[in-house]
Structure 1
Amino acid sequence: MKACGKEGEECFHALGVLRVSLGCYIFFSVMFLTTVKTRKLHESWNLWHSGYWEVKFIILLVSMALPFFFPSELVQIYGEVARIGAGVFLLLQLVSVIQFIIWWNNYWIPDEERMQRWSFGVLMSTLFYVVSICGIVYLYKTYAPRASCSLNLFFITWTAILLAAIMVVSLHSKVNRGLLSSGIMASYIVFLCWCALRSEPANATCQTKNQDKGNTDWITIIGFLIAIFAIVIAAFSTGIDSKSFRFSEEIVEEEDDIPYSYGFFHLVFSLGAMYFAMLFISWDLNNSARKWSIDVGWMSAWVRVINEWFAATIYIWMLISPIVRQNKVMGNDRTVQETVDSVMP
């Protein structure tokens, strides 16, 4: 094809990945535009969302083929936009995960009728914190074995500080959210730190395990497939979790309402297509990852680290935001009362 350049090189490697991603993005954008207004189960667009698979399969094939006729310059522009879309996908995924953690914590809160739940909650809290601490020790031993590994030492130490901050805020008398949600969140940010360190280039000198060989053994391949599966599950779980992103809590649900926002579902998958592309090219539009590798490179590592910091920040804000709003309301009421008192004879 003319758009693929000499010997088709512009349809392979990073540009090839971006073309496939653009095709997926086009398909899910079409689905978003055709379902975003759906509100009730009896509407025709509800049937379109849940059926007509033959028609949608044809639309998918056309959408996947179109980008291979687009000029490379347009695909490069899409790649720049995809970086932003992938970042938005990460933020949506973070909010969804944090909302689930908070819900799980509320489920296990102690009361007189649920002492078994409370005991299990204490056990799980202890387990998650033990896992988090062991994870920090493992990261120091594996990725920062020498004092010269200053960057890795900073990443791991800052993760430990975030872990302590989350615990302190959760146990504060005004917040009082217990240790379960903070323990789960601590384990999650330790996991994100590990992912960031794993994403460092193969020639990184501060790893005790040599990853420079790039052998495609069965463990590497299974790890690759598990990573893909985990991202798919994350896209599904975030897509059907539209209630976590409502700005108003006063919406009354009726029996004939759709179970989740179809438009938001397809929006998440369109952003997920961008995220997939960034993982396969390691967020670098000019280079491709090694065979059977995913999300490897300094740019990928920094994206993971920033994602970890955002996760901790969003979680802490969700803990303290009710207190901030309450203090603001009390301050406004006090100001009104002082004004009334000043004008009273």
Structure 2
Amino acid sequence: MSDPIEVVDNRPRNSEVVPVKESSVNAAWKNFECSTERKKSLQARYVYGFIFLLTNLLAWLIRDYGHKIFPKLYYLKACGVDGLECSRTNGVLRVSLGCCIFFFLMFLTTLKTRKLYEARNAWHSRWWTIKFVLMFISLTIPFFCPSFFIQYYGEVARIGAGIFLLLQLVSVIQFITWWNNYWMPDSKLKQTSILGLFMSTIFYIASTCGLVLMYLLYARRLSCTLNLFFITWTVILFIVMMLISLHSKVNRGLLSSGIMASYIIFLCWSAIRSEPSNSKCSPASEMAGKGDWTTVLGFLFAICAIVMATFSTGIDSQSFQFQRNEVEWEDDIPYKYEFFHAVFSLGAMYFAMLFISWQLDHSTKKWSIDVGWASTWVKIVNEWFAATIYLWKLISPVVRQPKVMNHEETVQHVDSV
């Protein structure tokens, strides 16, 4: 009699199937949560940008019309007689200080946030009612501070604004490098890019036209020696950048130098436009004090430019990372929150300097922004500094290459011995 056949049940039991289903469901739910939190985080930066814009408008209102508001607020002893200590220059500094306090608190409370599921991520992306109350308190406190403290803050704000300009400059140069790498082909592959060459031509033509126009508008007479010096030195920088970028050892192409040339020419133009209205070499002197619609539009455009510069620098934390090859996970935050808020805190100092033209002891005219000799020289120095950093970025690989080769030869010689 044959042995009975034993039937083996190889079907997975429920205890074996459920964990697999649960893990897949949990993974899908986690991906959904990460996607939702990421969207909220990306949307939050626009809300912060809108808050920053409103703060700029508030600073302008208090600067130009605060003298009509604060005399009625008798309980604000810090505002002095007729409320002069809370309007004009000091008023701008007080609003700037409040904005700086708010974003500095956000910097402290979001420091080292790295994952979307952290509580500090929720604080950054949500809880807007509490943050608007915090913003209101931050803007109110400076109006109870004594004037000497506000003056001390003004000195600190000058330094903070300089740091902001430096960060913005690094961000711009990194963007130019990325733009060049994106549109221009790899020289080792011996490819050609018609679009890249076309854009290079456009930038160089625009730069040349800009220089010619500046000579015609701002250096019409030989007596305009300062403007002639500014424009001529910009021409020299323009030529030097072009020649170095085309040098056989550098070989960076024309696109990056063309974009950078346009940028420094824009800075030179902006610096000359910032000269005071009593400057005889500026056609803006003819429009001084009229306050027509072009002045208003220019003022509003300048405010939008401040907000955009702060916003674009704040979200560009990758340009300031020391480790370029960091692995990004799905639950990582899309940008560094602490860097974002730190830049906005410095941006608050920067817009204060523009509204008061970098001068703590003088009041600016209505509908004017970043006008005066101090503003002119800040922009000119910024232009020269930008060109210097860019030129060093071009030649630094060539300068460092012999040192690297000598080091490798020394190592090989030691190994052979």
2:319 paired residue among 238, 244, 254: 244
2:92 paired residue among 12, 17, 23: 17
Paired with 2:193 and 2:319, the residues of 1 have a C-alpha distance of: 25
1:121 corresponding residue in structure 2: 196
Superposition deviation, residue 189 in structure 1: 0.6
Superposition deviation, residue 249 in structure 1: 2.1
2:358 corresponding residue in structure 1: 283
Do residues 49 (structure 1) and 152 (structure 2) align? no
SS in 1 for 2:351: helix
Paired with 1:190 and 1:275, the residues of 2 have a C-alpha distance of: 21
Paired with 1:327 and 1:307, the residues of 2 have a C-alpha distance of: 31
1:323 paired residue among 388, 391, 398: 398
TM-score (norm 2): 0.78
Over 3 Å counting, the alpha-carbon distance change for 1:86 and 1:211 in structure 2 is farther
Question: Once the two structures are aligned, what percentage of the paired residues are identical?
Answer: 65
Superposition deviation, residue 248 in structure 1: 2.3
2:220 corresponding residue in structure 1: 145
Paired with 1:7 and 1:178, the residues of 2 have a C-alpha distance of: 60
CA-to-aligned-CA distance 1:129-148 (integer Å, 9 cap, x gap): 01101111111111111112
Moved more, 43-52 or 329-338: 329-338
Superposition deviation, residue 219 in structure 1: 1.0
Paired with 1:287 and 1:87, the residues of 2 have a C-alpha distance of: 20
Match for 1:106: what amino acid? N
Paired with 1:211 and 1:229, the residues of 2 have a C-alpha distance of: 25
1:33 paired residue among 102, 108, 111: 108
2:45 corresponding residue in structure 1: none
SS in 2 for 1:210: helix
Match for 2:104: what amino acid? S
SS in 2 for 1:17: helix
Instruction: Count matched residues.
Output: 341
Superposition deviation, residue 313 in structure 1: 1.1
Do residues 224 (structure 1) and 299 (structure 2) align? yes
Q: Which has the larger radius of gyration?
A: 2
Superposition deviation, residue 209 in structure 1: 4.5
1:59 corresponding residue in structure 2: 134
Moved more, 165-174 or 207-216: 207-216
Paired with 1:211 and 1:290, the residues of 2 have a C-alpha distance of: 16
Superposition deviation, residue 338 in structure 1: 4.8
Match for 1:272: what amino acid? G
Paired with 1:258 and 1:320, the residues of 2 have a C-alpha distance of: 35
Paired with 2:108 and 2:396, the residues of 1 have a C-alpha distance of: 34
2:30 corresponding residue in structure 1: none
Do residues 213 (structure 1) and 288 (structure 2) align? yes
Q: Please list, as runs of the form range in 1=range in 2, the aligned pairs for 1:301-320 lying within 5 A after superposition.
A: 301-320=376-395
Contact kept in structure 1, 2:273 and 2:282, CA below 8 Å? no
Structure 2 residues without counterparts, runs of 5 or longer: 1-75
Moved more, 205-214 or 130-139: 205-214
Match for 2:152: what amino acid? I
1:98 corresponding residue in structure 2: 173
Do residues 161 (structure 1) and 224 (structure 2) align? no
2:22 corresponding residue in structure 1: none
CA-to-aligned-CA distance 1:249-303 (integer Å, 9 cap, x gap): 2422222111110000000000000000000000000112211111000000000
Contact kept in structure 1, 2:90 and 2:150, CA below 8 Å? yes
Contact kept in structure 2, 1:280 and 1:288, CA below 8 Å? no
Match for 2:133: what amino acid? I
Superposition deviation, residue 214 in structure 1: 2.1
2:268 paired residue among 166, 169, 193: 193
Superposition deviation, residue 340 in structure 1: 5.6
Contact kept in structure 1, 2:264 and 2:386, CA below 8 Å? yes
Paired with 1:17 and 1:56, the residues of 2 have a C-alpha distance of: 22
Paired with 2:199 and 2:325, the residues of 1 have a C-alpha distance of: 33
Superposition deviation, residue 320 in structure 1: 2.1
TM-score (norm 1): 0.94
1:266 corresponding residue in structure 2: 341
1:254 paired residue among 312, 321, 329: 329
Do residues 334 (structure 1) and 401 (structure 2) align? no
SS in 1 for 2:193: helix
Superposition deviation, residue 244 in structure 1: 0.3
Over 3 Å counting, the alpha-carbon distance change for 1:40 and 1:322 in structure 2 is farther
Superposition deviation, residue 234 in structure 1: 1.2
